[in-house]
Structure 1
């Protein structure tokens, strides 16, 4: 499951954010979509599935993406006895150092196997910008976790 931001539109105090969503199943099935999130809730703008989804699976799509989408929006589970409704939510920090390089290498290879953009996969997994993700991928290559980008002469 991968979720990464596409863009956001702000109208006064209201904001609507779009996210790319990708589900890959072990049997090779894939579902990709464009989802909106606003104060009014979640909406599916575009959806592609191979093979096609049954009506029951289509109805379950929102359940499949609810938790990863909430994480991408920065929502975290409230502690027992939670705080008030005005509490700010923060995204958990991605692992640093060796663990961060291992995570980047894992996501990069998984995206390559699926035929997806590896840099976007690392961006989604770590929360880094494109430049930060590329820097992290370079560090993973330097550490020997990924193959070299270009053959040395």
Structure 2
């Protein structure tokens, strides 16, 4: 991830700073964000992603880039209202269980995303907090244990 300042606007005693953020992944996926930091809150002005992001993915994206953006502004988690416990604070994600229970939960997330017409891999990534490779490995384990149907029909 790279974070760089774009411009800043000062008014009275406050300031709004715009930043460019780029997330590049090993599989070629890329996300470019133009974000505004104002009064220790982060707002997205523009998001461009390949492949496209779902609304759920945008929520996860906000969690990923909030801390690096605030750090780039010189604002840490402790400088936010309420000592980091404000409504804009990052949500803690519970640890994903390992083994059979993790595979079972991943399979459930995968199937429900398929039924809703959403990308099942991105749904597993959002639920687990894992990157694409780890999520695909978890989905593969669920297939191997018989919790998901095989990817290709055997002839």
**What TM-score do you get using the length of structure 2 for normalisation?**
0.48
- Greater Rg over alpha carbons, structure: 2
